[in-house]
Structure 1
Amino acid sequence: MTHSTRFYYIWASIFFILLGLLFPSIYTGLFISFGLAYAAFRDEKLGIAYLLLFIPMRPFLVAFNPGLKFIGLFIIIALLVRLLLQYRNNIPKLFSFRYFEILYFLFCLFGAGIGLLNGVSFIAIAMQLHTLLLFYFVYYIVSRITVQHDDIVFFAKITFIASVIMSVQGLIEKLSLRTMLLPEAWKDLVLAPTNKIRIYGMAGGPNELALYLTLAFLISLYVLQHVSGKMKYVTYTGLMLIATTLWLTYSRGAFLTVIVFGLVYLCIHRKMPIWRALLVISLLSFLCATCISKMTNYLEGDQVGVKRFTEALSEDTVELSKQDGRIYYVKKAVEIFQDKPITGYGLGTFGDAATQTFSSPIYKQYGITWNFYSDNQYIQILAETGIIGVLLCAGFTFGFLSLLWKYRRKAPFAPLTLYLIVGAIIGSAFYNILENASFMMYFFLTAGYIQHATKKSY
């Protein structure tokens, strides 16, 4: 299938998703998810494009139509089945793994086993394993198929389309004071003043949205190199929308990853070829974001957004964090680690995706609220899997990051691979990065491509 034909399928898929939102029956959602999976089975490149298009906006889609919850799972299963059929005469290659993949499996199995021993339910463990392993299979698939240069351009364009759609929705959410283009349940959320001013968007959270838009912005810069004429102006407009929305997430963690990435990139490359375009986009988008913020936030006070940054390390902010915030939960993680230093309490016990639904058998013992989210991958691994888990995590992280590091100077991947490395290391202090679907999808997709391209195996 040619890429021009694939774009017809992309626009058709967007149309059917819109139908699923207008007629939010669970059966409609399941039918659409199955239809997309069938198309993915027939063409794996189209399947990957569907993932890039719909996974970042999945929380929004599911809030309208619960049947769309399985869209990623169905597509990945279809891609796996197609891969199995392709390799049916070469079974050993399906079971050939690099050392860091094996360490990742061991990490998941170890955490699951310890969790079961400490009273976590089987269904909660299954849910957490699904969260940790689902997008690993993107790596598994992509490392065993051939991705050409025109496929990369195609995937970059899909990312650009998805991020523009999400940016437009986010700006409408902001300008309408959270009254338009949002599920009713999201409109009714009671948010603190410092969060009310932030764009949550289709990702369902400002931090998740910011991390995704940063990735999308870098990838969209690659699109800019492959368009001309009117499409170049369209791409610049899209980059402006993405950057404006990114500013309005007020995500300190995401902005820190951008700063560190910029420093690392300059240290390695010594130059930034499109710095003038980046400077213009940054300044104009900041001006747009400031104007939008002034228009919509005057009731809460003009400086609320600015205060998120200027007061990040103030005495009051630090004190609140000690009482019921990041510092408090770091202390709790250390307390748990001191009680269970070797093994921890297992998956599903400390601020991961499973505890959001099923809580944790140890929360009462440690005085932790039933549905807290750790927002810190490091403390979560420390509390849940102890020293053994930390060592396993260090091993598979080193392997995957080493793979990405090989392409730190290779066009067009240098910006993306460097940001994925920085995002994984720095972002883990602010996010449960292994559970961030959009980030891990791009992380595993890029690592899978590099694994195949370097011809280490398969």
Structure 2
Amino acid sequence: MNLISKKMEFVFPIAGAVLLALALLMPNAILAYAITLILALAAFFLPKQGILFLLIYYPLRSFLITVNPALKLLGDVIIVFVFLRIMWNSRNNWTSIFKFAVYEWAFLGFLFVGALSALINDIGMNAIIFQIRAFVITFLLLYVVKRLDITKKDMLNFMYMTVAVVILVLIQGLVEKVSVRSQWMPELWVNRQLSPNNSSRIYGLLNNPNVLAVYLTITALLTYYLRRLTKSSAVRVFLTIILVVMAGVWILTYSRGTWIAFAISLAVYFVFTFNWKLVLKIAAVIAIGFVLVALPATYSAQWVKSNTKVGEIERTGPAEDEGGFAVEKTRIKETFNANTFEKSLTTGRLYVVSKGFEVFKDYPLIGSGFATFGDSAAKSFGSPVYKDYDIGVDIYSDNQYIQIIAQTGIAGVLLFAVFLLGILVLFWKNRHNNPLAIPLLAAMIGIYWCGFIYNIWEDKTFTMYFYIILAGFLACLEPNEKQKI
């Protein structure tokens, strides 16, 4: 009976995975819409399992919508239906619907400022809604998960599902690497234009090496925590192997920003705990992953490219580099050199920061509004202010903070700061009564760094995990502490 009960806890994710496979084998829009409706209704009746399904959907979303674009809104619709279920559950206590922590109110205020400024500056309603959705849809997970009476079993299921999905991501990533981006990928990805510097990086099913690196960092921490909780020696050995493979693929993303963020978080964690053993364990896993996974995969890819027809594949982009570690070494060495700095200043992140402050000077109080500078909406719809600052239409800020500064001005910056710092204060206040507080505090500081180099608060995979984990942390608090939130 226990085994049957355990399987029933994953009936939605398993059935959802089967339906996704069907949508990939038969990439028909009507079928995808029907699957979306079926899973949305199921999420209303099984909200916890609906959230588990999101752990499958969002990491694979880029792959899924490349094969079947009609699956694009599946995650959004499931979250909305889970939200509707929470509304239904609260029908006898409507006041609870409007109960928010200070940092949540600050985030909602930030959204209001960005939308108001955009309306004042005549930005189209479609573009405004598009950007609000980019911020809000996964934020709803914090709202719903902390109202779902999360148990220890739910948290274990969350980690089990994470491990199951990351295994698939790791296998595909290694096949991608060894096959020189020719196998287990949509044809569109195989023929994608990549710069010589990026052709050696694993993009994975997440379709972006930086997003993949962040995802692997999160999943590695959850896998390690699951390993600590399990009592089975065999399972512990299996999870250790997974961690080593994760480390190898993480290295092969060559995501320098994520490496730095992880180092910052680890340093902060060590300052608070002086846990030498954990630091040494992490260093050992990364070293073993490098030797047993990263090196063999790289040299295998070089051999495949030199000795098979893969090297003769015609791609739509520039010719790839020779292979081996030449490109990888160059990427690491160029991180802090003068040439990299000059490129960043003229066309890269520093250029975007410079332009962002130009916009801020003209719109200092509440900014130029959502969908005007470096966000996903401006990239999709175009920005009416770009021509005033001689900015290319395809600019993406790759810096969450300059985007917020330009789009929401002083008001938005202050509100977003309250949001970020409010969560940090939450972890700090509970550092003595919750063992997860210090690790999450350290991770939060690393996330702050990520905001300088990614539009991380628009990344659905990261924010999905962040808000679910934050809600899980809140569920672990003592009743008297919950009353303060």
**Aligned residues of 1:405 and 1:417 also touching (Cα < 8 A):** no
Give the TM-score of the pair, scaled to structure 1: 0.95
Change (3 A) 1:222 1:250: same
**Aligned residues of 1:138 and 1:441 also touching (Cα < 8 A):** yes
Change (3 A) 1:34 1:416: farther
Change (3 A) 1:126 1:164: same
Cα deviation per residue 1:374-421 (whole Å; 9 max; x = unaligned)? Answer: 010111111111111111111122222222344556666357513540
- Whether 2:236 is the aligned partner of 1:258: answer no
Other-structure match for 1:379: 402
Shift of 1:7: 2.7
Mean alpha-carbon deviation: is it higher for 403-412 or for 257-266? 403-412
| 1:176-215 equivalence runs, <5 A | 176-215=179-218
Other-structure match for 2:44: 41
The CA distance in 1 between the partners of 2:131 and 2:19, in whole Å, is 30
Shift of 1:133: 0.6
Other-structure match for 1:285: 289
The CA distance in 2 between the partners of 1:424 and 1:172, in whole Å, is 29
Cα deviation per residue 1:153-201 (whole Å; 9 max; x = unaligned)? Answer: 1101111111121111111111111111222222221111111111111
Other-structure match for 1:347: 370
Other-structure match for 1:295: 300
- Whether 2:396 is the aligned partner of 1:393: answer no
- Whether 2:131 is the aligned partner of 1:128: answer yes
| 1:206-285 equivalence runs, <5 A | 206-227=209-230, 228-275=232-279, 277-285=281-289
AA matched with 2:7 = S
**Aligned residues of 1:170 and 1:200 also touching (Cα < 8 A):** yes
Change (3 A) 1:31 1:359: same
Other-structure match for 2:445: 422
- Whether 2:53 is the aligned partner of 1:80: answer no
SS of the aligned residue for 2:372 comes to coil
SS of the aligned residue for 1:372 comes to coil
Cα deviation per residue 1:219-238 (whole Å; 9 max; x = unaligned)? Answer: 01112123314322322222
Tell me the C-alpha RMSD between the 2 structures: 2.0
- Whether 2:162 is the aligned partner of 1:159: answer yes
Q: Which of residues 323, 327, 341 in structure 2 aligns to 1:318?
A: 341
The CA distance in 1 between the partners of 2:438 and 2:465, in whole Å, is 13
Shift of 1:373: 0.8
Change (3 A) 1:218 1:410: farther
Mean alpha-carbon deviation: is it higher for 344-353 or for 18-27? 18-27
SS of the aligned residue for 1:134 comes to helix
Shift of 1:4: 3.0
Cα deviation per residue 1:229-288 (whole Å; 9 max; x = unaligned)? Answer: 432232222222222111110001100011001111111111155455434321121112
Other-structure match for 2:310: none
Shift of 1:457: 6.5
SS of the aligned residue for 2:452 comes to coil
**Aligned residues of 1:24 and 1:64 also touching (Cα < 8 A):** yes
SS of the aligned residue for 1:123 comes to helix
Change (3 A) 1:406 1:178: farther
Change (3 A) 1:8 1:144: closer
**Aligned residues of 1:147 and 1:449 also touching (Cα < 8 A):** yes
Change (3 A) 1:415 1:46: farther
Cα deviation per residue 1:314-362 (whole Å; 9 max; x = unaligned)? Answer: 1111111111111111111111112222222111011101012111111
| 1:87-166 equivalence runs, <5 A | 87-166=90-169
Other-structure match for 2:308: none
| 1:397-416 equivalence runs, <5 A | 397-408=420-431, 413-414=436-437
The count of residues paired between Structure 1 and Structure 2 equals 458
Cα deviation per residue 1:74-132 (whole Å; 9 max; x = unaligned)? Answer: 21112112111211111110112222222211111111111122232110100000011
Shift of 1:428: 0.3
Q: Which of residues 49, 53, 56 in structure 2 aligns to 1:50?
A: 53
Other-structure match for 1:364: 387
Mean alpha-carbon deviation: is it higher for 172-181 or for 403-412? 403-412
- Whether 2:70 is the aligned partner of 1:67: answer yes
AA matched with 1:455 = K
**Aligned residues of 1:218 and 1:415 also touching (Cα < 8 A):** no
Other-structure match for 2:353: 330
Cα deviation per residue 1:131-160 (whole Å; 9 max; x = unaligned)? Answer: 111111111112222111111111011111
AA matched with 1:338 = K
AA matched with 2:451 = S
Mean alpha-carbon deviation: is it higher for 287-296 or for 72-81? 287-296
AA matched with 2:146 = S
AA matched with 1:403 = L
Other-structure match for 1:309: 332
SS of the aligned residue for 2:118 comes to helix
AA matched with 2:388 = Q
Mean alpha-carbon deviation: is it higher for 37-46 or for 199-208? 37-46
AA matched with 1:365 = D
Other-structure match for 2:462: 439
What percent identity do the matched residue pairs reach?
A: 34
**Aligned residues of 2:404 and 2:413 also touching (Cα < 8 A):** yes
**Aligned residues of 2:298 and 2:324 also touching (Cα < 8 A):** no
